[in-house]
Copies of this chain bind each other. A is one copy, B any other.
């Protein structure tokens, strides 16, 4: 009977989540109407309100769904690089890599859902209205674990500098995954917004160098 479950066609509730995720990513919370969601998911207008209570409830459900998965994967990556390191703990580069690499997992290249989700996170992260509250709610417990590891790897760091460095990392990361097409235009097509592997390979050394420059003893 397992087979039957797998073959079951995608439920309406998930269709709503997927469609709304794509729409919110593109147009932001206020740029999307429940009617757009309903049409895209080919369900009745009232159904999304029934399942998620309200438009805002739908929005939160979207943020939560993949945050749980990403946080778990990042946590495993952090534990793994801790286990592989000596008693002094992992290097800055290994920690940064553990933070970034999971974003390319989960079949990122094939599953457009993750691409939409990261585009959405980019907007949320940069919103003066919701950025502080929502990013804290969905990501801070895990981020604090990474900050502790970084603190151990950079014992001479000023705390303020460490937090600013993370902030720079966060901004660079979310914009890179926002897929705005700007870098394509600036480079006259030489660089593709979609090339997350190329971006990842460069982001790790870029960010690592920044941390080391600011947070190592002179």
Residues of chain B contacted by A175 (CB below 8 angstroms): 125-126, 167-168, 170-171, 174-175
Q: Which residues of A76-102 have CB atoms within 8 Å of chain B's CB atoms?
A: none
Oligomeric state, in number of copies?
2
A32, closest chain B residue (CB): B30
Are B182 and A132 in contact, with the CB atoms below 8 A? yes
Q: Which of A44-52, A54-62, A208-216 contacts B (4 or more CB under 8 A)?
A: A208-216
Are B27 and A160 in contact, with the CB atoms below 8 A? no
User: Interface on chain A toward B: helix, strand, loop, or mixed SS?
Assistant: helix
**Is A26's CB within 8 Å of the partner chain B?**
yes
CB-CB contacts of A126-140 with B at 8 A, as 1s and 0s?
Answer: 111111110110001
> CB within 8 Å of B: which residues of A?
25-31, 119, 122-123, 125-133, 135-136, 140, 143-144, 147, 159-161, 163-176, 178-187, 190-191, 193, 198-199, 202-203, 205-214
